[in-house]
């Protein structure tokens, strides 16, 4: 029997307990959660009680990284600590799955990508939407040229009342931004993947703060501290690429809409598509028709597939589906959108 991949998880908050730890726990024949770490002793104790078989618990992540037995590390900490923990983990010879976004900005992302190159290990970024069976199917249609040249896309992550009432999501100094860097990045990464990662050359963006600092707005995800709300609650952007394609991106924590809206719309020369729910539209025989492909396990937990893929990449020594370079491209676009909003003009992406 092949050796189990040993995993260390740094950060035992919501994303660790909601995605990473249960994902690894689902494949006990493939991997072992060897160690966990959190600077918050209460959070560490709580998680330890849920997973009593984990042998090692630390409050200092460097002690976890010092363990030669560990093959891969999940970085599940807030955005502001992604960079230095990931860089240290790579330098310690660990493969890394870092939760999205890659870092607070592209400068941090570049450091992380460079650290991966120097270490000889790989860096995977936690954009789990790519692992959805429907998105995998749509990508196969795209790669088979069923949509032709994709020249325009719309990526949307819009919540009706979805400001998180926990964590640091409303703190710009620790999060880097609001819905754009939290949920908008998911749909942007997915869209870039569908389009084959053309090179972004510029972005024109706007951000709004219309609801976050108000005490009279109800929270469907817990009530946040409106007095300390320092991020945007809505952002929109037009992103241009060197091949002439464009993406319109919209992301909001609070919007007066009928319901939450998450989708990617693709327009190509031979067909179009909607990702959520999956539908493809084409013209044949002088008629236009739409169809919805069906596939097994389409409601599978994408985080679980993401963790299994991370373990597989370590075991088989192959590159992940979502690379550090992909995460860096998203970060460069995020930087340009925020800068464009601040300066009130289109910003070049280098």
Bridge partners (DSSP) of residue 7 are 33, 72
Query: How many other C-beta atoms are found inside a 10 Å radius of the C-beta of residue 225?
Result: 10
* pLDDT tens figures, 100-135: 999 999 999 999 999 999 999 999 999 999 999 999
What pLDDT shows up at residue 338? 98
Residue 1: the pLDDT is 54
Return the DSSP state at 273.
E
Nearest to 253 by CA among 305, 177, 320: 177
Residues forming a β-bridge with 290? 281
Q: What's the rounded Cα separation, in Å, for the pair 70 and 66?
A: 9
Average pLDDT of the residues in 10-26: 98
Ordered structural domains, the chain, with CATH: 5-129+302-322 (3.40.50.720), 132-298+331-348 (3.30.360.10)
Q: Which residues contact 162 (CB under 8 A, 6 or more apart)?
A: 179, 220, 221, 253, 254, 260
User: Is the whole-model pTM more than 0.95?
Assistant: yes
Burial class (CB in 10 A: 0-12, 13-18, 19+), 167: middle
DSSP 3-state of 294? coil
246-270 burial by CB neighbour count: b if 16+ within 10 A, else e?
Answer: ebebbbbbbbeeeebebbbbbbbee
The C-alpha angle 302, 304, 310, rounded to 5 degrees, equals 105
**Any bridge partners for residue 57, and if so which?**
36
Distance, in Å, from the CA atom of 75 to the CA atom of 93, rounded to the nearest integer, reads 14
- Kindly report, residue by residue over 200-221, the tens digit of the pLDDT: 999 999 999 999 999 999 999 9
Are 59 and 342 in contact by the 8 Å Cβ rule? The answer is no
């Amino acid at each position: 029997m092949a050796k189990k991949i040993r995993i260390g998880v740094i950060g035992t908050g919501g994303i660790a307990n909601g995605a990473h730890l249960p994902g690894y726990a689902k494949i006990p024949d493939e991997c072992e959660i060897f160690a966990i770490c959190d600077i918050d002793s209460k959070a560490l104790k709580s998680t330890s009680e849920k997973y009593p078989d984990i042998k090692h618990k630390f409050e200092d992540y460097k002690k976890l990284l010092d363990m030669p037995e560990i093959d891969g590390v999940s970085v599940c900490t807030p955005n502001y600590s992604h960079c230095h923990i990931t860089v240290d983990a790579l330098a310690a010879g660990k493969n890394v799955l870092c939760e999205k976004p890659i870092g607070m900005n592209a400068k941090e992302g570049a450091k992380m990508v460079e650290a991966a190159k120097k270490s000889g290990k790989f860096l995977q970024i936690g954009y789990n939407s790519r692992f959805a069976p429907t998105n995998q199917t749509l990508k196969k249609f795209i790669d088979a040229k069923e949509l032709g040249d994709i020249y325009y896309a719309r990526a949307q992550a819009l919540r009706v009342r979805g400001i998180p009432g926990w964590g640091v999501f409303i703190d710009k100094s620790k999060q880097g931004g609001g819905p754009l860097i939290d949920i908008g990045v998911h749909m942007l990464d997915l869209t870039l993947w569908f389009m084959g990662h053309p090179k972004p050359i510029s972005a024109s963006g706007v951000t709004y703060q219309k609801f976050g600092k108000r005490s009279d707005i109800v929270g469907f995800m817990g009530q946040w501290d409106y007095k300390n709300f320092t991020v945007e609650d809505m952002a929109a952007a037009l992103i241009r690429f060197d091949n002439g394609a464009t993406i319109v991106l919209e992301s909001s924590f609070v919007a007066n809409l009928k319901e939450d809206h998450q989708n990617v719309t693709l327009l190509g020369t031979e067909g179009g598509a909607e990702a959520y729910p999956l539908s493809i539209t084409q013209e044949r025989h002088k008629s236009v028709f739409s169809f919805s492909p069906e596939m097994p396990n389409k409601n599978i937990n994408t985080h679980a597939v993401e963790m299994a893929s991370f373990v597989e990449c370590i075991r088989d020594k192959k590159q992940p589906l979502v690379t550090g370079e992909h995460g860096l491209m998203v970060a460069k676009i995020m930087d340009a959108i925020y800068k464009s909003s601040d300066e009130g003009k289109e910003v070049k992406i280098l």
